[in-house]
Homo-oligomer: A and B are copies of this chain.
Amino acid sequence: MSGDEQTTKALVVFTPSGKRGKFACGTSLLSAARSLGVDIDSVCGGRAICGRCQVDVCSGEFAKHGIVCSNDNLTGISKAEARYDEKRGLPAGRRLSCQAIIKGDIVIDVPPESQVHKQVIRKRAEARNIKTDPVISFHYIEVEEPDIHKPSSDLERVYRALRDQWNLLQVSCDLRILSKLQAVLRKGEWAVTIGVHHRLPGGISQIVSIRPSFHDSAYGLAVDVGSTTIAAHLCNLADGKVLASSGLMNPQIRFGEDLMSRISYAMANPGADLKMSEEVREAINMLAAQSAATAGIDQSDILEVVLVGNPVMHHILLGIDPVELGRAPFTLATSMAITRPACELGLKLPAGAYAYLLPCIAGHLGADAAGVILSESPHLRDEMSLIVDVGTNAEIILGNKDRLLACSSPTGPAFEGAQISCGQRAAPGAIERVRINPETLEPRFCVIGCDLWSDDPGFSAAIGSIGVSGICGSGIIEAIAEMYLAGIINKDGALDGSLSVKSPRIRANGRTFDYVLNDAEPLICVTQNDVREIQLAKAALYAGARLLMDRMGVDVVDRIRLAGAFGSHIDVKYAMILGLVPDCELDKVESAGNAAGTGARIALLNRGARDEIEQLVRKIEKIETAVEPRFQEHLVDAMAIPHKRASYLKLASQVTMPATGDGGAGQRGARRKRGNRRVTARKSD
């Protein structure tokens, strides 16, 4: 290098972005990166404290760039950098880009963990990845000390530091933070780390955390408030990683298993809605504490919570009486997304923490459905997706990048094991897999919480104290599909009583017949009425999907996604045999996991996703099944099992037959692992 170093310009190339520019020698790598718009993180503002701006210095000859690099083209390790290395460790070859000063041409690689907008890779290949861009940013500032000769308030000087050191203008301060401001400033000896929320009503940026010295730990909670369970994922806001997941039964179950009974309870008992609010809020508080303990983090570092839930849960959580959701025309108080101080929702998070609720879509399509859409992103695809989330109601979404339709279909709680004679929630002891030998009509089954099939040697010993207590949603689907494949029921769902002479498993029960799954204590049967309940539920689900397809003007869909716990545990082949969903290539039908919870996580980690879903829900065309005459027609048509048994040979052949052993091992294995802790977070991906 020749001439005056101060005025010489050097070429700097950043990979992997390829952004490049000439900079005066003496410029720091961080400044160079910033002026080129290269995405490098920093919380401490160039003070060698946060270590987020680490880069790799490339050496060698880069013919492409016409650069010969050597470490000599940067200043050596600075004192501050050496201190950081000593305290927190710096990998070999890494530099803090705020400390390394350009002396000559150089190529710099920005590793993924140093980017502000990190990619959170989702396991399922087809799922879109999440880019971290949380609503809260952190800023280490050094605040001017008060001076009696120039009186100014502490807050004024904090604002000034944010302006001068971070170019943050027009920031306001939460009163709850303001009340701690003076003590924290003095504790941190006028150096503090400020958290600023950038997406509050009115578009204001507000200080939501202030912590002494450098302190950049920040976590968020994504919560799926289901009717039955409440599941929470604790995420690191910096890199999007899930640190802990936990789940609890929704304590409101004591007010009624399903939503309608809870609404009825609220109608009959004035003030019950407030009691329900309290209980659900308390459950979320427990999950927050539990997750923090599991992850070994300080609960006071949980600075945001994002919540999804069906409309009833959404309203109850907000302290809105859900009574209007229980009667036509099923009117929501509000469908808009909500950003409120977490304390207003009774959540015991640190002062300044905010809660965000995704928007609702319509009276039966809640923030959970919005979460599913955000997670599945049908609106970003060319293919026509059908997404089904089955609970007491099924939320059904159909569409692609051009158009999105949604409806809710009253499947009733049969798919959750309710209204089934021996039905129960998916919990240890529940039959979840069923195979029937078409020759002997003898069944074998699998129970949640036990690894063995009922005809495996040692089953009795293995089942032990769990016992066999009932049959859950996926179990009843398999049982009825297997009964159909074995010829025990016909396509209209009628149980063939004449088979009772052939097998003791077919038994008369008054004027109809039962199929006995477990002939021990307790006796577990599938009754004619159980078959009817499932037929009704699956017809409702199918009819809802058909209605949307009619409206969309399509006869087939390109892919089907089954969301929620039911969708995760059901064997899609059996769902197809019974005709729960319209025809589709079997390999295009997949579980979407807990898509609602994933949607909450996306909204937690990415502020743009909030804009996206808020704008999108306004464009979704809502179909109210209750007033669509064609819905009833479809429902009646869909009662039967769709096709001749023969036409399902191909499907059936994919269903591992009992004789070949190990039926549905993958599915069973998945459930087996969770068997003893069914009521936990439904990890989605």
Contacts and interface: CB of A to CB of B under 8 A. Distances in A.
Interface of A: 146-149, 151-156, 172-173, 175-176, 178-179, 181-183, 200-204, 318-321, 323-324, 328-336, 338, 340, 344, 360, 362-363, 622, 624, 626-627
B182 A201 contact: no
A235 to B, nearest CB: 25
Nearest to A363: B151
A71 to B, nearest CB: 47
B626 A148 contact: yes
Given A178-B320, A179-B318, A151 B329 contact: yes
Contacts of A148: 328-330, 624, 626-627
A146 B331 contact: yes
A294 to B, nearest CB: 30
Given A328-B148, A360-B153, A179 B319 contact: yes
Contact of A155 (B151, B176, B333): B333
A362 B151 contact: yes
Contacts of A627: 148-149
Contacts of A147: 329
Contact of A153 (B146, B202, B323, B334): B334
Given A333-B181, A624-B148, A201 B175 contact: no
Given A175-B340, A626-B148, A320 B200 contact: no
Contacts of A151: 329-331, 362-363, 622, 624
A319 B178 CA distance: 9
Contact of A203 (B149, B202, B329): B202
A196 to B, nearest CB: 14
Contacts of A202: 172, 200-204
A331 B153 contact: yes
A592 to B, nearest CB: 25
B329 A146 contact: yes
Nearest to A628: B149
B335 A153 contact: yes
Contacts of A626: 148
A336 B318 CA distance: 31
Q: Which one of A151, A156, A175, A329 has the highest number of Cβ atoms from chain B below 10 Å of its Cβ?
A: A151
A183 B319 CA distance: 13
Contact of A178 (B153, B175, B334, B624): B334
Contacts of A321: 179, 182-183
A336 B157 CA distance: 12
Given A153-B332, A179-B333, 5 more contacts: A146-B329, A151-B330, A154-B331, A154-B333, A183-B321
A204 B363 CA distance: 27
Contact of A152 (B153, B179, B335): B335
